[in-house]
Amino acid sequence: MNYSGQINPCLSCVSTLNYGRKLNRLDNKVDWSRILTWLVILAGVYFGLVALIYLFQNRFIYHPESRIWRTPADVGLEYERVEFSASDGVQLSGWFIPHEEARAVMLYFHGNAGNLADRVEFLSLLHTLNISIFGIDFRGYGESEGTPTPRGTLKDAEAAWEYLVEKRDIPPDRIVIYGRSLGGTIASWLATRHEPKALILGSTFTSAADMAKEMFPFIPVDFLINIPYKTREYLQQIHCPVLISHSTQDDVVPFYHGEELFQVANEPKEFLELRGAHDDVVFTSRETYIQGMGAFLSKYAEQPKHLQNR
């Protein structure tokens, strides 16, 4: 026994050896090869998902339906089925619903799913606001030919505008462009290229990239999404009157998207706050919607009596 107060060097060596043995036993218990295997699998799944999003991003956006299961005639509206062509030759289809006392002509773009047949009740509601309506199906939707693509839908919107102005001889200052959801960003893009009477956006997102970030927050979508749907950017270039409607209960495009769009829009602009889910907001807030839309159209789209029958 050592009474000098110093640690016996031999005991220190034994302690160090015992600690080393414990580490070795711990290393033996950890299966590093299995951990490495799982890390490789997880990395493969992650990058596989990234590749799928990049390669099939259009399929995440567009959900077209070709069957026309009802028409405006089913709700007592006279209408004309219209065929016209986009600049790349794709044949498109739409409905022109006239109004005898139209104060404006509305160019309407629907959302990403279904087709015009699913909007018959909505078009009938719009018609009560004393407007003529030209609604179109984007390529791949309804009776329109082709396959939907971002740039293709923009060509479709341009072709619809040209049809109204050139074929029907409707002055631009009589046209109100209305887009809902996906149709809203396309409507905004079109309004940057022309001078409509007014622009109306319903339940529209700030940009496709922003929506993708919400769907895939762990994916670097800024480097993957090559879709030119940039509503926030478009609105800053538009100087016609703008109405933005959005539901606080929207379960697809969060309410703050509408708020941000309103903030960046130029004057004159108005905001219509609604209630209800994304797909049924107009009918859930029917009275508020009709009053707000009617007031906006009366303020910015009213036409002299002698022009209303065009």
pTM: 0.82
Report the pLDDT averaged over residues 167-190.
97
Of 158 and 228, the structure prediction assigns the larger pLDDT to 158
**Residue 309 confidence (pLDDT) above 60:** no
pLDDT category at 155 given cuts 50, 70, 90 is: very high
Q: What pLDDT is recorded for position 212?
A: 74
Catalytic-residue membership of 4: no
Is the confidence at residue 25, as pLDDT, over 70?
no
Mean pLDDT, rounded, for 88-96: 98
Of 111-125, 164-178, 233-247, 291-305, the range with the lowest mean pLDDT is 291-305
Residue 14, pLDDT score:
46
Q: Is 173 one of the annotated active-site residues of the chain?
A: no
Residue 260: pLDDT over 50: yes
If one compares 245 and 310, the residue with the highest pLDDT of the two is 245
Domain locations along the chain: 9-58, 65-307
pLDDT at 297 over 70: yes
Kindly state the average pLDDT of the residues 52-64: 70
Residue 212: its H or E element: helix 208-215
| Cα diameter, the chain | 119
- pLDDT (tens digit, 9 = 90+) per residue, 32-51? 777 777 777 776 665 566 55
127 is catalytic: no
Mind listing the pLDDT tens digit for each residue in 70-79? 999 999 999 9
Nearest Cα neighbor of 106 from 129, 140, 84 is 129
Cis peptide before 72 (omega within 30 of 0): no
d(CA 182, CA 18) in angstroms, rounded, equals: 68
Across all residues in the chain, what is the average pLDDT? 86
Looking at residue 305, its amino acid is K
pLDDT in the model for residue 156:
98
Please tell me the predicted confidence (pLDDT) of residue 87. 97
Q: Dump pLDDT digits (tens) for 125-148.
A: 999 999 999 999 999 999 999 999
CA distance 199 to 186: 11
Mean pLDDT of 185-214: 94
Report the run of H or E that residue 20 belongs to, with start and end.
helix 9-29
| Per-residue pLDDT at 11 exceeds 50 | no
Helix (H, G, I), strand (E, B) or coil at 201: strand
Active-site residue among 181, 207, 245, 247?
181
Q: What is the pLDDT of residue 1?
A: 44
Q: Confidence band (pLDDT; 50, 70, 90) for 307? A: very low
Fold entry, domain 65-307 = Rossmann fold (3.40.50)
Q: Which of 262, 177, 297, 127 is nearest to 273 (CA)?
A: 262
* Contact criterion met (CB below 8 Å) for 231 and 242: no
Per-residue model confidence (pLDDT) at position 213: 73
Question: What is the Cα gyration radius of the chain?
Answer: 29
Mean pLDDT lowest among 55-59, 124-128, 140-144, 212-216: 55-59
Q: Strands 132-137, 91-97: parallel, antiparallel or unpaired by DSSP? A: antiparallel
Range among 54-58, 208-212, 214-218, 283-287 rated most confident: 283-287
* Nearest residue to 289 via CA among 242, 243, 221, 253: 243
Plot region of 27 (φ>0 → left; ψ -120 to 50 → alpha; else → beta): alpha
Considering only residues 226 and 131, tell me which one the structure prediction assigns the higher pLDDT.
Answer: 131
